[in-house]
Structure 1
Amino acid sequence: MNIKILGPGCKKCEKLYNLTNEVLDELEKQANITKVTDFNDIASYGVMKTPALVIDENVKFSGKVPSKKDLKKLLK
C-alpha cells in the first residue's frame, strides 16, 4: 500500500501523517508513507484544500483530517 499525505507541512498535515502512522500500527499493516509538499504535485491530484490523503494514487480525503474511525475503515 502506498500512502501520500498532501500538504505544505501545516499542523493539520502533520496531524494526518501522525494519525495515519498510528492507525497503521494498530492494524499491524505495512505501508509506504510519503509527504508531498510541492504545490504543483498537490495540484496534479486535483486537490484544492489540504491536507489530503491519497491511497494507491486515489484521493480519499481532502481539506480535513478524517476521524480515526474513518481512517481505520480506509486502511483495513
Structure 2
Amino acid sequence: MLDIKILGSGCPNCIKLEKACQEVVEEQNLEADIEKVTDMNKFMDYGVMMTPGLVVNGKVLSQGKIPVKSTLENWLKSAAE
C-alpha cells in the first residue's frame, strides 16, 4: 500500500495536488492511504520548504509545484511495485 502525504496549508495548489493524487489512485486501482499534512513543523521533517509537497512512502517527490498527471501516474505506479 502506498503512503501518500500532501504537505500544504490548504492553498488552492495543495487541494489540486490532493485531487490529482486521488484521481490517479482511483484510475490505476492502486491501494493508497492519502494524508493531508498541514503542520508546518512536519514540512521541515521532510525538508520541504515550498508547498505543495508530495511525499510517497517517505520520499519527497516534489515541492513547490503540481506535477503533470502523467508524471504523477508514473511515480505512483513505480512506488507501488
Q: Same fold (TM over 0.5)?
A: yes
Superposition pairs of residues 1-76 of structure 1, within 5 angstroms = 1-76=2-77
Distance 1:67 1:57 in 2: 21
Where 2:55 maps in the other structure, the secondary structure is strand
What letter matches 1:45 in structure 2? Y
Q: Compute the TM-score of the two structures, normalised by the length of structure 1.
A: 0.98
Q: How many residues align?
A: 76
Q: Which runs of 4+ in 1 moved over 2 A?
A: none
Distance 1:16 1:4 in 2: 10
Give the C-alpha shift of residue 72 in structure 1.
0.3
Distance 1:3 1:45 in 2: 13
Give the C-alpha shift of residue 35 in structure 1.
0.4
Q: Percent identity?
A: 47
Long gaps (5+) in structure 1 = none
Distance 2:43 2:15 in 1: 16
Q: Deviations over 1:22-70 (max 9, x none)?
A: 0111101110010000000111110110001000010001100000010
| RMSD (Å), alpha carbons | 0.5
Distance 2:13 2:65 in 1: 8
